[in-house]
Amino acid sequence: MKSIKILVLVFFGLLALSCNNSDDGSYVEPITIYEKMQGNWNLMNLRMVDQFAKANAIEPSEQNLSALFNFDVFQITFNVDAAMHPTNYEVSGNVPPIFQLSGYWELNSSFQPTSPGTIQINLYSDAQKANKTDTLLLTSVPGSNAEMEVQLIRSSGGTPFISYVFSLNSNN
């Protein structure tokens, strides 16, 4: 009879030993656009859109520049640090300077905004990000297809008159 009690105790003891701490999951940061954008991108296509012509229904309103001025070998790299914070960026391919070809970058929003609105890629000449040189628009955020679209808009007096549409695919 005593041996049965001991057996029962041992059984419960074993049950207790086999239990682990409950796994509630640890806190994980949500994926930011920096994570999606970081790395090296190839140019698939570059279009120059005449926004004035387009607004006034004048043709042609668009030209393809992909094969001109070395844009066929255009690459852009967006670098981040270990904490996924933006650092510097660089364009290679020896293309004309339609925007500052190297410097530092930052988004106006780390996450996809829930309300309609475009994410701005602000470009700076200094690491302190005090001197803004250009602003690009991220018009298509990289998803599972590893492609994104970036636009450079030329405006005067608040009215856009030209946009350059860069279609990029990831080289990572």
Partner 1 sequence: MKRIIYTILIALFVANNFAQAQQEVGGANKIWSYPVIYNYDEGVTWYFDLSTTTFAVDEEVYIWIWSPSEPDAGNWENSSEFAHLTNEGNMLWSFTFTPTEYFSMTPEDIAASAGFWMRLKDKTGAKQTDVINVSYTAFSSFYTANELIRTYPEAPTLNGGLSILFNSNLVPGFENVPSVHFHSGLNNWSILQEYQAWIPEITEKTKLKDLGNGFYKMDLIPSEYYDNIPDGFVMENITYLMVAADWVANSGDQAINAAEYIPPPPPVFRFFPLQISKKDFLGISRINNEVGINTLYYTINAGTTQITGEFNGGVSEIKGFVNLPSALQGISNINEIHVLVKDNTDRTISDTTIPLKTLD
Contacts to partner 1 by CB under 8 A: 48, 50-53, 58, 60, 63, 65, 68-69, 96-98, 154-158, 161-162
CA distance 146 to 19: 43
Token match 């990289």: residue? 142
Q: Which has the closest alpha carbon to 166: 126, 127, 134, 130?
A: 134
Nearest-approach distance from CB 24 to partner 1, in angstroms? 51
Judged by CB, which is closer to partner 1: 65, or 121? 65
Nearest-approach distance from CB 54 to partner 1, in angstroms? 10
* Sequence letter at residue 99: F
Judged by CB, which is closer to partner 1: 135, or 140? 135
Nearest-approach distance from CB 144 to partner 1, in angstroms? 34
Q: Which has the closest alpha carbon to 136: 163, 97, 156?
A: 163
Judged by CB, which is closer to partner 1: 87, or 159? 159
Quickly count: other Cβ atoms within 10 Å of residue 81's Cβ.
10
